[in-house]
Structure 1
């Protein structure tokens, strides 16, 4: 199977002529098709055909992103043409109306109000902001009157215009709960202060509130405004400070016991904050939260304090707590107030923790999370000494290994576990890595994704290789793994020895996807005991240059497997640099099964910046 190509014009034209549906569309839009030219039409057809073949299973799974990216780029290039073709089939009004004659001007107020609310909340092709309330009221006097008398239409406090408009919006919204967004970035201090004062005086009826990037000199004002009155209607609260200073020891508590006039916001379900200093007495920690997402916030001094806060949030479904060395560390001293699994979070679906090892090892065993579907752990090595403790690896096994064994059971004959492993860079960290395990072998409720990653730090004696191999030592993370994806740059994979260890640790491994570390993988396979790789059935290489020694090593490995009686090996080469002679040599090697090759330039598939159709 090959990608549809516009270069083979004869074959493509024949397919188009036999495709009655596509041909009818083009006949319907002959003038438009003539404008962009036959080659463009063939390119559009090739894109549509490739997506159809992909849907019908005509391409291997590793080609899905390539096919979709190429088709998407084609549709973007000719978006105006495709939009025009689509519009030709749209029904038109049976007659035109003079000024003020359209029935739209006489719709009942109740119906028009419902239409306004729907239009304001629906994406529109008229522009990025769609049918804004201000635009709707400009149509006619009747629409203006109805718009201004529909309070729910003005619940979103809009600061894009003048403050006069903001005051009008608040006035027309009457008593409906409000949605407010305050962004300080790029604003003069006086402007931000005015907006904050106008908006937060309505705190008692705000439904969703988002405050982002206030300047340091505005923090004190916000603290006072947040404390000025209760927030009984608040459902979502988001706060992102402009820099790390706000979360450090030098900043003030942005949220404290007096916030919201000291009253618990009883409707609050979602709390998302970054770079904030928060006192554990913050009333929101007593609300019926469903989502608690705190990124790089300075909140608790000890693990005991944190566990007390979590213990008062039994409704949590999503818990995200990430920090780094710039935020004051929690003391990871012995937990006194809770037994293992003493904090009951039975509704929790998502748990993401990032902190130094000692803190996470102190927190994790005390959480009872039987229904968690995603558990993501990131160990911050920077500035931490706990990762260098001689018992660090064994303590990790005690905490995480035991948790996974409890989740999947202790069936020694056929242990449960995950089937897919992806090794990726740790998000937001140069030099860090993440091991992401997904797709449990049996369909089950509960844990479907587990990841354990480490940031990079100098002077850490325990290497990433040792940390990763300790992770693979836990039965649920090795016995059932059939698919390994390592298509992103992770530095420690550029080593023959680590690949030999990985292969020896994954007895069920059937499929490997690699990019930068392909040479190391092939060399390790060529020197390992074929019995260790007996389960392998497929190798997928991306953007790799295959010189003769690499081809010879790959061929020798596959031939040796075949001589041992192991099944054939399928090969895929995606945007690799490989000669026809090398491909022929591989195809002639005994033990090589199907060989799939796509040698196109990846950049050409997605570069649509200067190829749009004419105006």
Structure 2
């Protein structure tokens, strides 16, 4: 059997590439010190030197540029460990003259980087050719004296391969060449000064026929509107809405007025996922919000799920919204009923709507959501799984259901396909009373309740189990109904790694006064 020293050079190159690739991600410099042959082979294996750029000083950056030959480069100048190096700027000055070799350029600046040095780097990106560039990301400095401006000369040479652009905290001229790359399929704009009118936004999108992902995040000052946007229907558009035929994902964070204004002006495929993060900072009238959102989303929902087809989303999630100082709530719908269960997945579902800020409390924002749901059959008729993380989903105060049934309970009654509830500890308080009420019946097919991360007593568990047991009619329900407690504390006993299940037996016969319920640990 041949020794390692006798392996062909080509095979060693493949081994070296695997050695530096994730998840191992070892430094290629260690290969050079083994022997003269390994040093020569490693230095003639271009693909292993890419990750050495910036992270090991100017000397190794220069060597990596030389030994990587003509291999396309990915330059990540955003990594914290890279930006902490004192020679970061000098390394960037070595790399950028090779921009004709760069396929991925991710630029961010160290905190407190001198404005003069930032301008030096930006000048190097003017009027330069980057024929291989496929992905460009830039995060501007937080220093207001060093704000970046991407103008008409920024990367002005043709960009035939550019597919992804992400820009944060910059000033951008709408005619900037990177916004008009012919192959651009993904555009993300965060906290930038760029468009002053909605016409400019739509014009940018119109010139990107291959666009698949558009994300726009902006947080205007209190009381500000975008181009005087309102929730009223637009005047008749001369050319009709702009069709974004290839759009697969739309994610907008702005005022509710700006979001509605944009949605009124574009048309997207019914398969597109939508995430709308709407600030109510201008305190619009509740009825106007509901009518406006209904106006822009109803055509989309009707195209995706024809009315009367019985089709719709399989999962529905209600949770808190927190972002900096803003608070509110978020609702998500997913095609897969299990897709949005994880609190930390970061996924926004197939349709997501967040409402926050303004003088509205949680109950008022929930009321808006319930009124929208009532208008959109697709958001309820096929939902099999509801995930309740917000404390007010099932009420926020005790009420006598025999005298007063809140209007939103009638909306919950239209979720007729629900088989499973996943509930956080904050949303469980009034659920037993709601489920066991003789005055209203919700979720006729409900068979499984999962409670996560709650502190409960045996009495609480019993009430929830009894409520589920009492409401079964033997038609829609099977004999396998359960209440599952995951990572819960019961009677001050913490079982973070165990699952507690309350298995419910058959519904009692008319003459049988007993029911079966057992707790399994």
Q: TM-score range by the shorter chain?
A: 0.7 to 0.9
Cα-to-partner distance string for 1:125-171 (whole Å, 9 max, x where unaligned): xxxx32x3212222111111222233343344522223111112112
**Match for residue 410 of structure 1?**
307
**Match for residue 507 of structure 1?**
416
Aligned-residue offset at 1:235:
0.9
**Match for residue 315 of structure 1?**
210
Q: Work out the number of aligned pairs and report it.
A: 476
**Match for residue 612 of structure 1?**
none
Q: 2:449 aligns with which of 535, 539, 552?
A: 539
Q: Is the 8 A contact 1:178 1:208 kept in 2?
A: yes
Residues 268-277 or 317-326, more deviating: 317-326
**Match for residue 265 of structure 2?**
366
Q: For residues 570-581 of structure 1, what are the structure 2 equivalents within 5 Å? A: 570-578=482-490
Pair 1:455-2:356 in alignment: yes
Aligned-residue offset at 1:172:
2.2
Q: Secondary structure at the match of 1:223?
A: helix
Q: 1:396 aligns with which of 289, 293, 297?
A: 293
Q: Is the 8 A contact 2:506 2:516 kept in 1?
A: no
Q: Is the 8 A contact 2:502 2:519 kept in 1?
A: no
The CA distance in 1 between the partners of 2:64 and 2:267, in whole Å, is 46
Aligned-residue offset at 1:280:
0.9
TM-score normalised per structure 2: 0.79
CA separation of 1:340 and 1:365: change in aligned 2, threshold 3 A: farther
Q: Is the 8 A contact 2:75 2:102 kept in 1?
A: yes
Aligned-residue offset at 1:461:
10
Q: Is the 8 A contact 1:417 1:440 kept in 2?
A: no
**Match for residue 145 of structure 1?**
40
Q: Is the 8 A contact 1:519 1:550 kept in 2?
A: no
Aligned-residue offset at 1:543:
3.6
Cα-to-partner distance string for 1:152-200 (whole Å, 9 max, x where unaligned): 4334452222311111211223333222122485857973332221221
Q: Secondary structure at the match of 2:260?
A: helix
CA separation of 1:498 and 1:271: change in aligned 2, threshold 3 A: farther
Q: Is the 8 A contact 2:316 2:332 kept in 1?
A: yes
Aligned-residue offset at 1:291:
1.5
Q: 1:113 aligns with which of 4, 9, 13?
A: 13
Q: For residues 465-476 of structure 1, what are the structure 2 equivalents within 5 Å? A: 465-473=366-374, 474-476=376-378
Aligned-residue offset at 1:448:
7.8
CA separation of 1:162 and 1:118: change in aligned 2, threshold 3 A: same
Q: Is the 8 A contact 2:99 2:130 kept in 1?
A: yes
Aligned-residue offset at 1:112:
3.2
CA separation of 1:337 and 1:119: change in aligned 2, threshold 3 A: farther
Cα-to-partner distance string for 1:381-426 (whole Å, 9 max, x where unaligned): 24x34x3475221111111123212221122xx4321121111233
The CA distance in 1 between the partners of 2:73 and 2:473, in whole Å, is 72
Q: For residues 291-370 of structure 1, what are the structure 2 equivalents within 5 Å? A: 291-325=186-220, 330-331=226-227, 333=229, 339-342=239-242, 344-370=243-269
The CA distance in 2 between the partners of 1:114 and 1:224, in whole Å, is 39
Q: 1:477 aligns with which of 337, 360, 379?
A: 379
The CA distance in 2 between the partners of 1:350 and 1:543, in whole Å, is 33
The CA distance in 2 between the partners of 1:532 and 1:492, in whole Å, is 13
The CA distance in 2 between the partners of 1:263 and 1:109, in whole Å, is 39
Greater relative contact order, per chain length (Cα 8 Å cut-off, separation 6+) = 1
Q: Is the 8 A contact 1:304 1:335 kept in 2?
A: no
Q: Is the 8 A contact 2:314 2:382 kept in 1?
A: yes
The CA distance in 2 between the partners of 1:141 and 1:543, in whole Å, is 59
Aligned-residue offset at 1:331:
1.8
CA separation of 1:114 and 1:481: change in aligned 2, threshold 3 A: closer
Q: Secondary structure at the match of 1:305?
A: helix
Q: For residues 548-563 of structure 1, what are the structure 2 equivalents within 5 Å? A: 550=460, 553-554=463-464, 557-558=467-468, 560-562=470-472
Q: Is the 8 A contact 1:294 1:322 kept in 2?
A: yes
CA separation of 1:222 and 1:338: change in aligned 2, threshold 3 A: farther
Q: Is the 8 A contact 1:571 1:593 kept in 2?
A: no
Q: For residues 170-185 of structure 1, what are the structure 2 equivalents within 5 Å? A: 170-183=65-78
Structure with higher helix content: 1
CA separation of 1:159 and 1:190: change in aligned 2, threshold 3 A: closer
What are the ranges of 5 or more consecutive residues in structure 1 without an aligned counterpart? 1-93, 95-101, 442-446, 599-615
Q: For residues 257-268 of structure 1, what are the structure 2 equivalents within 5 Å? A: 257-260=152-155, 262-268=156-162
The CA distance in 2 between the partners of 1:276 and 1:258, in whole Å, is 15
The CA distance in 2 between the partners of 1:335 and 1:276, in whole Å, is 32
The CA distance in 2 between the partners of 1:438 and 1:226, in whole Å, is 42
What are the ranges of 5 or more consecutive residues in structure 2 without an aligned counterpart? 338-347, 398-405, 493-500, 510-514
Task: Answer with 1 or 2: which has the greater Rg.
Answer: 1
CA separation of 1:158 and 1:239: change in aligned 2, threshold 3 A: same
Q: For residues 157-306 of structure 1, what are the structure 2 equivalents within 5 Å? A: 157-183=52-78, 191-214=87-110, 215=113, 217=115, 218-243=117-142, 252-260=147-155, 262-287=156-181, 288-306=183-201
Residues 560-569 or 205-214, more deviating: 560-569
Q: Is the 8 A contact 1:433 1:455 kept in 2?
A: yes
Q: Is the 8 A contact 1:303 1:332 kept in 2?
A: no
The CA distance in 2 between the partners of 1:559 and 1:462, in whole Å, is 29
Q: Is the 8 A contact 1:184 1:192 kept in 2?
A: no
Q: Secondary structure at the match of 2:471?
A: helix
**Match for residue 433 of structure 2?**
523
Q: Secondary structure at the match of 1:519?
A: coil
The CA distance in 1 between the partners of 2:302 and 2:260, in whole Å, is 17
Aligned-residue offset at 1:270:
1.2
Q: Is the 8 A contact 1:185 1:212 kept in 2?
A: no
The CA distance in 2 between the partners of 1:388 and 1:552, in whole Å, is 43
The CA distance in 2 between the partners of 1:311 and 1:439, in whole Å, is 29
CA separation of 1:180 and 1:272: change in aligned 2, threshold 3 A: same
Aligned-residue offset at 1:538:
2.5
